[in-house]
Amino acid sequence: MRHGVFVLLLGALVATLLLGLAVGPYPLGFADVLHAAARAVGVDNGAPTPGEIVFGRVRLPRVAAGMLVGAALAGAGTTYQTLFRNPLVSPDILGVATGAGLGAVAGILLSLPVAGIQGLAFVGGLATVGLVYVIAAALRGHDRTLVLVLGGVVVGALAGACISLVKILADPYDQLPAITFWLLGSLASVKLADLATVAPLVLAGLVPLVLFRWRIGVLSLGDDEARSLGVDVFRLRALVIGAATLMTASVVAVSGVIGWVGLMIPHIARMLVGPNFSRLLPASMLLGASFMLIVDMAARSIARVETPLGILTAVLGAPFFLWLLARGRRTWG
Amino acid sequence: MRLEARDLSIGYRGHLVGSDISLSLGPGEVLCLLGPNGAGKTTLFRTLLGLQPALGGAVLIDGEPLARLRPAEIAQRLAYVPQAHVTEFSYSVLDVVLMGRTARLKPFSSPGAADERLAREKLAGLGIADLAAQDYTRVSGGQRQLALIARALAQEAPILVLDEPTASLDFGNQALVLGRIRDLARQGFGIVLSTHDPDHALLVSTRVAIIADGALRAIGSPDAVVTAEMLSAIYRTQVLVEETPSGRRVCVPAWEAPAPGG
Amino acid sequence: MLKARPDLIFDFGSVTPTFASLAARVQEQTGIPYLLIDGHLDHTAASLRELGRVLGVSARAEAVARYVEDTERLIDERLKDVPARRRVYLAREPNGLETGLAGSINTEIIERAGGINVAERGSGRGGIANVSIEQVLAWAPDTIITWDANFFASYAADPVWGAVPAVKAKRVFLAPRLPFGWIDAPPSINRVIGLRWIAGLLYPEKFPEDIRAIAREFITLFYQIDVSDSQLDRILAGAQPGGPGR
């Protein structure tokens, strides 16, 4: 049973991955895939066909990005829920997604190229959490966790207000539609270059979470108990927040704001493997990756035009959450 | 292994809760902190455990100041058993006990087979081996308390600090837990526990410290310290300390005895 | 708005019941006459005449309205026997993946100038939509028009865009944006000159006239100013109908 669940989750991921590679508006043939694979190992078949280009440079990166985004958001959500001892926490609790949103819409307002928009989003996300941390550090003598959460609420609200301000200032014909779309999340414009930047950042954030997975779980007992059990609470929490924020900010910079994944997937994972962080983290990430693949498939298949991912995750997520609550569990996981 | 508090002042920044507190504890001793609620017992506990800094004086373990030790080093010497509470997440009892191994693990490690064996041993030692796979949040309060004691034992620390371990337990479970505490003392552990029930102090402790109004009012053997005068003073109500036919001492409020048959 | 004390409030755009009731409200609240006029391209001449009537400059309105009608007539005339219609994709935003759906106010000018907007209207109602590059490749447009300088500067380096027929045939054009957008942003009177410009892009054989001269004529007539050569240069920078796109 212990390993059975993971085999299943991995299998589900592989299945959705293959399906994701096959679904899309451009009609791909098996030949295109073969040629792309051949080219990847050095065989030169002349100029690439559009199909090859679509497979290698559009669909593959998009599917890979989907997995990365889903895994990162789910992983960050799991981490925050464990850290804040609250299963109703999302990766945006400290404001990283809202801050990234502010950076991105500012970039759109300033008519920056894509790299500039992404860069501002990344910086915005990190800066927001940094600000929250500084505020929490300044307010000594209070329950650290509570102050972090409240700080996140306040700074997040401020960032949200600034986003609204930017919306008002933006050109309604030229910029506002783009801002709206970005804030709802999409993988439609993902390139290989984006992956090359984001993947290492996500991995960098993931490494500490995996290395310290046992102690992170101990943090869920509360500061006093964790400390008395030998965990350096202050340092570990700072490291963990930094790592989860790095993961979230990097993917949000590329995909826009996508809600519900970070909140919902850890729940489902907890029901499957229990609350033990060492098992919960990988389970969440596998599940998150599969979920995001499915959602992104829908996003590019429902209509000719792209449906924002944030809408789809909410449409799928909210009813599921209601169902979870209705089942009336006394405790979580 | 000795735990010592030297001229300790405790409290929070800008707010002194207690001062001039000195006490010490060695192997096999059970030191009971007795006193009314709000007297500063919890603050003293947290200071002894290193969860908050002392405002003055020092806490020493085998002569070494607590302030100079890292959390993991403290955890290898001192184990904390908080009041049994419900955790947010449904960990199994075994998982809870395994968390006690954290201080003995390398920074990046998770518990292995040997750790699991040891955890199960500790559970067995307390008579709750069959609870290992159960949901910690669903077992009884007494069993939760025992699980937390098992966790502290898994730390393999020679000194145990228990915060009101019998609070909110029924009579049977209280006796169960107190009995285990006595056994552990006999095995050589040094134990500090706080309680607001003087009878418990009389049952298990080798020494009693009375904490009231932020001060250490008295410290010494139970018989010397737990007297009717002392209890009446700190609890602000008339208390009698009487000896039972079996030779034990118990505390009762000083009311008139009920009429026979009434 | 009351502080500025205008004699008339003029709104050019959508005339759906929502906006009509909004206009009525403002008129009631402020006591200032509110003129709401249909902004659709087809309605341009009529709108100009309406505005001229209200402002009391019917003669001038007639002159400009007639120019608009002449332009439309000219385009319809010359498009009659065009063998194959160009398939056009409008690339908005720096990544080029925002577009206007066929028939929307954002791109009606393309259809009017004889092109086919590849982004056919599906079930959506609005005008703007986002697509993936895959979808653009599936549509295979032979002409791309954009007014986003960032996109125009970067598309050529992207091998994926390179697979689009329009890019292969070097038919990517940067639309003028001065003094306002010629296609959209906002959809305004400049669409009249935008029509000529696009028609020239799509069917240079049918519309061989020099766009500079036509633009000068349009600006002089509509904006009532003389435009210098250097100003025309600025306006038409990057927009080269008739020749190969960048």
The pLDDT tens digits for C171-191 are 999 988 877 888 887 888 888
Best mutation target, B77, B80, B86, B89, to test chain A (most A CBs within 10 A): B89
pLDDT of the residue at B79: 94
Distance CA A44, CA C47 (A): 60
Q: What is the pLDDT of residue A245?
A: 94
In chain C, the domains with their CATH numbers are 9-79 (no CATH), 87-236 (3.40.50.1980)
Confidence of residue B84 (pLDDT cuts 50, 70, 90): confident
Q: Tell me, what's the pLDDT at C239?
A: 63
pLDDT, mean of residues B112-123: 94
- Quote the distance between the C-alpha of residue C117 and its chain's center: 13
Which pLDDT score is estimated for C243?
41
Residue with tokens 């506990």: B45
Share of chain A above pLDDT 70, in %: 96
Nearest residue, CB atoms, B108 vs list A212, A228, A229:
A212
CA B49 to chain A, closest CA, distance in angstroms equals 7
> Is B162 a domain residue?
yes
Instruction: Kindly determine whether residue C160 and residue A57, on different chains, have CB atoms separated by under 8 Å.
Output: yes
**Which residues are CB-contacts of C148 (< 8 A; sequence separation ≥ 6)?**
C91, C92, C93, C94, C96
Q: Which of B74, B76, B110 sits opposite A213 (nearest CB)?
A: B110
Contacts of A26 in chain C (CB under 8 A): 134-135, 137-138
- Segment C152-165, tens digit of pLDDT: 988 988 989 999 99
Average pLDDT over residues C185-200: 86
Residues of B in contact with A278 (CB under 8 A): 110
Sign of CA dihedral A133, A138, A144, A150: negative
CA end-to-end span of chain A? 17
Two structure tokens written together for A282: 């990988």
Q: Give the Cα separation of A294 and A312 in Å (integer).
A: 10
CATH number, domain with residue B183: 3.40.50.300
| Closest of A239, A242, A243, A287 to residue A262, by C-alpha | A287
Pairwise CA distance, residues A131 & B215, whole Å: 42
Both tokens of A181, joined, read 């779309």
Per CB-CB distance under 8 Å, the chain B contacts of A233 are 71
**Minimum-distance CB partner of B100 among A229, A232, A233:** A229
Report the b/e string of C160-184 with b at 16+ CB within 10 A: bbebbbbbeeebbbbbbbeeebbbb
Please give the Cα distance from B235 to C227 (Å, whole number). 98
pLDDT at position A34: 81
- Any chains having at least 3 CB pairs less than 8 A from chain C are A
Chains A and B in direct contact, meaning 3 or more beta-carbon pairs closer than 8 angstroms: yes
- Residues of chain A falling short of pLDDT 70: 1-2, 45, 141, 328-333
pLDDT at B107 over 60: yes
| Residue B3 phi, psi dihedral angles, 5° rounding | -105, 130
| Whether C133 contacts A189, CB under 8 Å | yes
Give the global pTM.
Answer: 0.87
pLDDT at B223: 87
What does the block give as tokens for B236? Answer: 């602000």
Of A50, A173, A306, the CB nearest to C137: A50
Residues of C in contact with A178 (CB under 8 A): 92-93, 98
Alpha helices in chain B (DSSP H): 41-49, 71-77, 93-98, 113-125, 141-154, 171-186, 198-204, 222-225, 228-235
Q: Is C189 left (phi over 0), alpha (psi -120 to 50) or beta?
A: alpha
Strand locations in chain C, DSSP E? 9-13, 34-38, 87-91, 98-100, 116-117, 128-130, 143-146, 172-174
The C-side interface with A (CB below 8 A) comprises 92-95, 97-98, 101, 106, 119-120, 122-124, 128-135, 137-138, 150, 153-154, 158-160, 162-163, 181, 184-187
Interface test with A, best of C118, C121, C134 (most A CBs within 10 A): C134
Per-residue pLDDT, C123: 55
Residue B217 lies in a domain: yes
Contact yes or no for B89 and A270 at CB 8 A: yes
The mean pLDDT of C221-233, rounded to a whole number, is 85
C-alpha to C-alpha distance for A219 and A21, rounded to whole angstroms: 39
Lowest model confidence (mean pLDDT) among A253-257, B225-229, C120-124: C120-124
Any domain includes B262? no
| Residue B52, domain extent | 3-253
Q: Is residue B260 part of a domain?
A: no
C150: closest CA of chain A, how far (Å): 6
Backbone angles phi, psi at B19, to 5 degrees: -150, 170
C114: left (phi over 0), alpha (psi -120 to 50) or beta: left
The predicted pLDDT at position B80 comes to 94
Within A23-59, residue ranges assigned H as helices are: 30-40, 50-53
What was the pLDDT predicted at C242?
42
Rounded to whole angstroms, the Cα distance separating C15 from C20 reads: 6
Count of domains forming chain B: 1
A229 min Cα distance to partner chain B (Å)? 5
- Which residues in chain C are contacts of A297 at CB distance < 8 A? none
Q: Tokens 């404001």 identify what position?
A: A95
**Mean pLDDT of all residues in B174-179:** 88
Residues of chain B positioned with their CB less than 8 A from the CB of A333? 89-90
Please write the tens of the pLDDT for every residue from C12-33: 877 888 888 888 888 888 888 8
pLDDT digits (tens, 9 = 90+) for B201-224: 888 999 999 888 778 888 899 888
**pLDDT for res B242:** 86
How many inter-chain contacts (A to B, CB under 8 Å) are there? 90
Smallest CA–CA separation between A324 and chain C, in Å? 33
Task: Tell me if chain B has a CB within 8 Å of the CB of A27.
Answer: no
Q: Is residue B259, in this structure, part of any structural domain at all?
A: no
pLDDT, mean of residues C96-124: 85
Contact C132 A189 (CB under 8 A): yes
Q: What is the CATH number of domain A4-326?
A: 1.10.3470.10
Characterize B22-60 residue by residue with b for buried, 16 or more Cβ atoms within 10 angstroms of its Cβ, and e for exposed.
Answer: ebebeeebbbbbbbeeebbbbbbbbbbbbbbebbebebb
CA distances from C181 to B229, C56, C143, C190 (A): 94, 28, 19, 7
Look at residue C236 and tell me whether its pLDDT is greater than 90.
Answer: no
Could you give the 3-state DSSP secondary structure of residue B31?
strand
Residue B262 pLDDT > 50: no
